[in-house]
Amino acid sequence: AQSVAQPEDQVNVAEGNPLTVKCTYSVSGNPYLFWYVQYPNRGLQFLLKYITGDNLVKGSYGFEAEFNKSQTSFHLKKPSALVSDSALYFCGGEGSNDYKLSFGAGTTVTVRA
């Protein structure tokens, strides 16, 4: 069974500081990994995905994520966080022979001014 874990319920950072949101995965075959962001009363917005190729993936709004096969991780990063980055972030994954996304429980990011 595919599973994705986000070990931190909350991440708090000051504006301008680096932001990291952690994700680990357990999927069969080659994993397809995604990050989504959810604002209050909104659906999930796609940020970036890893399918194959470069381990460092760049996405929307200055976010990037690093795929690490040996650590089975796919951490989301932003070099300089903004207050507007405050939201709920979900990591999702699926196996290469699957189509169902499995999501982590989410990480609430708060960026203080």
Partner 1 sequence: GAGVSQSPRYKVAKRGQDVALRCDPISGHVSLFWYQQALGQGPEFLTYFQNEAQLDKSGLPSDRFFAERPEGSVSTLKIQRTQQEDSAVYLCASSIPQAGIYEQFFGPGTRLTVL
Q: For binding to partner 1 (CB under 8 A), which residues are involved? A: 4, 32, 34, 36, 41-46, 49, 51, 90, 92, 94, 96, 98-106
Q: Which is nearer to partner 1, 76 or 104 (CB)?
A: 104
Q: Which is nearer to partner 1, 43 or 113 (CB)?
A: 43
Q: Provide the minimum distance between the beta carbon of 102 and partner 1 in the complex, in angstroms, as a whole number.
A: 7
Among 41, 9, 18, CA closest to 111:
18
Q: How far apart are CA 89 and CA 108, in angstroms?
A: 6
Q: Provide the minimum distance between the beta carbon of 38 and partner 1 in the complex, in angstroms, as a whole number.
A: 9
Residue 9: DSSP 8-state: S
Provide the residue type at 22 as one letter. K
> Which residues are paired to 92 by β-bridges?
34, 103
Q: Provide the minimum distance between the beta carbon of 22 and partner 1 in the complex, in angstroms, as a whole number.
A: 14
Q: Which is nearer to partner 1, 17 or 110 (CB)?
A: 110
Among 77, 76, 92, 75, CA closest to 32:
92
